[in-house]
């Protein structure tokens, strides 16, 4: 058997402690599969005294993760601290700079600095692996980079944030408001005390930027992601979507178009019949449209200690076997600059909910503004159908579903409608994702 692989793990929280535990539990199987014994010889965290429910007796404790990354006593550095900067970035750069392979679950770090870190890893002939950084336990990085190497990818999209999917699922199932579902998610530990990062779509954007780079052979471009969170989704939208045969999901979508690559994160109408629409609760899913395989959907746990550790350990096993793939599927020099498709040129159907005063001519004026821009309507629904209450001339919820048009035309039509003073409040606009 080849030499022992000496692993240093920095970060012993939810993921780090689970990784150490899984490596210990699967030690025999991993050594049989990789031909090497894999041993955690050193660890780092802030608090050396904390009981982490895992046997660390054989490992040297480092208070400073950068010192661990620099230490010649390890062959592989595993970063599970988190954050785009600070000790996570410094320790990963140190390990790579020292010619040491790195495994990380850190999407924030990858999204911000992935291309530069990949270059550094390549220049030192070491691995940089990050399977756990997107969709937790779902092996989506390997699928895109290796499993689909013979395909040209048109689109990759998915439910990449369990918190948002949990909230939207609960709103639909229990008919609760967004605020109530968020509180419930916080109580159950699915959402942070400050939930902005999740519900604002930023976490999904980090993961999407990594997927886009892998799918399209481009340098990571987080600044090119259009981001809209789920805060404005109401029960009225969830109900209307259901009546029209849709479900609302927060999707991250990266799509090749004639104008370049679209990267967008937003609440999205998906047909209830699609695989992605069936994914409820904290579960994640990713669908890939590719020329040879057509459509492929992977569904699974997107977070949690064990599920994420499964992905981290798979990367560690690759390093043990001596596998060193180009981190983003191509040598760094071949990764092109991602050509950003302008958001205004996005083409697709739209759901538009308007509060229209119940006065003669109000709706006709709206229809005219749409028709002027050749926006054709697939359906028009008074929300709540027959059950809608009309009180005097108070606004009535009207839902329009458009045929494919562009974002620019929709925004122009709405600006004209606002200027006409026809509607009482800003419209709710949700893009419909084509099947
Ligand atoms: N949790 C998930 O389900 C999940 C899923 C996918 C990816 N990830 C990613 O995995 C990474 C870790 O997440 P997590 O949930 O395990 O985080 P966590 O529970 O907050 O653990 C973070 C760990 O880092 C240690 N740490 C923080 N600052 C440090 C410093 N300056 N020096 C040394 N150690 C330091 C902490 O030490 P103490 O314990 O002593 O405070 C703790 O052990 C993040 O990049 C996250 O995005 C997490």
Q: Residue 117 carries which DSSP code?
A: H
Among 48, 51, 80, 134, the mutation site with the greatest number of ligand 1 atoms within 8 A of its Cβ is 80
**Strand locations in 72-216 (E):** 76-79, 101-104, 128-129, 153-159
Whole-number Å distance, alpha carbon 3 to ligand 1 midpoint, is 29
Q: pLDDT digit string (tens) for 355-412?
A: 998 888 888 899 999 999 999 999 998 875 433 444 455 678 899 999 999 999 999 9
- Quote the strand ranges of 4-112, DSSP E: 5-10, 38-44, 60-62, 76-79, 101-104
Ligand 1 atom having least distance to the Cα of 107: 47
Judge whether residue 249 has pLDDT over 80: yes
DSSP β-bridge partners for residue 247? 270
- pLDDT score, position 393: 57
Distances (CA, A) of 373 to 363, 370, 402: 16, 5, 12
Residue 306 near ligand 1, beta carbon < 6 Å:
no
- Token representation of residue 112: 């911000």
Fold identical between 5-137+308-333 and 146-301? no
Domain residues of the chain, as ranges? Answer: 5-137+308-333, 146-301, 344-432
Superfamily of domain 146-301: Dihydrodipicolinate Reductase; domain 2 (3.30.360.10)
Helix (H, G, I), strand (E, B) or coil at 301: strand
CA neighbor of 11 nearest in space, from 72, 85, 88: 88
List pLDDT tens digits, range 50-70.
Answer: 999 999 999 999 999 999 999
Q: What is the pTM of this model?
A: 0.95
pLDDT score, position 114 = 97
Q: What is the mean pLDDT of residues 260-288?
A: 97
Q: Which of 98, 107, 142, 207 is catalytic?
A: 207
Superfamily of domain 344-432: ACT domain (3.30.70.260)
Contact by Cβ (8 Å): 423, 395: yes
Q: How far is the CA of 80 from the centre of ligand 1 (A)?
A: 5
- With a 6 Å cutoff on the Cβ, whether 218 touches ligand 1 is no
The CATH class given to the 5-137+308-333 domain equals alpha beta
CA 238 to chain centre: 21
Q: Of the candidates 310, 339, 258, 376, which has an alpha carbon nearest to the alpha carbon of residue 142?
A: 310
Residue 50 appears among annotated catalytic residues: no
Mean pLDDT computed over every residue of the chain: 94
Taking the C-alpha atoms of residue 17 and residue 215, their distance in angstroms, rounded to an integer, is: 31
State the Cα torsion 271-273-276-281 to the nearest 10°. Answer: 100
Task: Give the integer Cα–Cα distance in Å for 138 and 115.
Answer: 22
| CB of 80 shorter than 6 A to ligand 1 | yes
pLDDT in tens, 23-46: 999 999 999 999 999 999 999 999
**Which element (helix H / strand E) includes 194?**
none
């Amino acid at each position: 058997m080849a030499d022992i692989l000496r692993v240093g793990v920095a970060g012993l929280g939810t993921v780090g402690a689970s990784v150490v535990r899984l490596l210990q539990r699967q030690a025999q199987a991993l050594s049989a599969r990789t031909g090497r014994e894999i041993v955690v010889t050193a660890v780092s965290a802030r608090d050396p005294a904390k009981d982490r429910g895992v046997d660390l007796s054989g490992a040297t404790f480092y208070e400073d993760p950068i010192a661990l990354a620099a230490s010649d006593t390890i062959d592989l550095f595993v970063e599970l601290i988190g954050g785009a900067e600070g000790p996570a970035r410094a320790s990963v750069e140190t390990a790579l700079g020292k010619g040491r392979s790195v495994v990380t679950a850190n999407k924030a770090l990858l999204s911000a600095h992935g291309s530069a870190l990949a270059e550094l890893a390549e220049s030192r002939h070491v691995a940089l692996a990050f399977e756990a950084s997107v969709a937790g336990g779902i092996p989506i990085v390997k699928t895109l980079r290796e499993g689909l190497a013979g395909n040209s990818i048109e689109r990759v999209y998915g439910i990449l944030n369990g918190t948002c999917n949990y909230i939207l699922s609960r709103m639909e199932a229990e008919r609760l408001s967004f605020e109530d579902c968020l509180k419930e998610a916080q109580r159950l530990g699915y959402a942070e005390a400050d939930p902005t990062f999740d519900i604002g779509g930023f976490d999904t954007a980090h993961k999407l930027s990594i997927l886009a780079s892998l799918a399209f052979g481009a340098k990571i471009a987080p600044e090119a992601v259009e981001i809209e969170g789920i805060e404005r989704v109401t029960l009225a939208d969830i109900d209307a979507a259901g009546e029209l045969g849709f479900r609302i999901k927060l999707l991250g979508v990266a799509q090749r178009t004639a104008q370049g690559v679209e990267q967008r994160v937003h609440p999205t109408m998906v047909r209830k019949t699609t695989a992605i629409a069936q994914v409820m609760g904290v579960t994640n899913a990713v669908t890939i449209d590719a020329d040879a395989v057509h459509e492929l959907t992977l569904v699974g746990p997107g977070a949690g200690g064990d599920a994420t550790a499964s992905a981290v350990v798979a990367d560690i096993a690759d390093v043990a076997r001596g596998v060193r793939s180009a981190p983003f599927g191509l040598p760094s020099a071949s990764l092109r600059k991602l050509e950003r498709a302008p958001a205004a040129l996005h083409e697709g159907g739209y759901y538009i909910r308007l509060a229209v005063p119940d006065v003669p001519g109000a709706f006709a004026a709206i229809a005219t503004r749409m028709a002027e821009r050749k926006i054709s309507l697939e359906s028009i629904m008074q929300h709540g159908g027959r059950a809608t209450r009309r009180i005097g001339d108070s606004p009535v919820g009207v839902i329009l579903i458009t045929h494919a048009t562009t974002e620019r035309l929709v925004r122009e039509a709405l600006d004209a409608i606002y200027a006409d003073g026809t509607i009482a409040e800003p419209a709710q606009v949700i893009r419909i994702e084509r099947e």
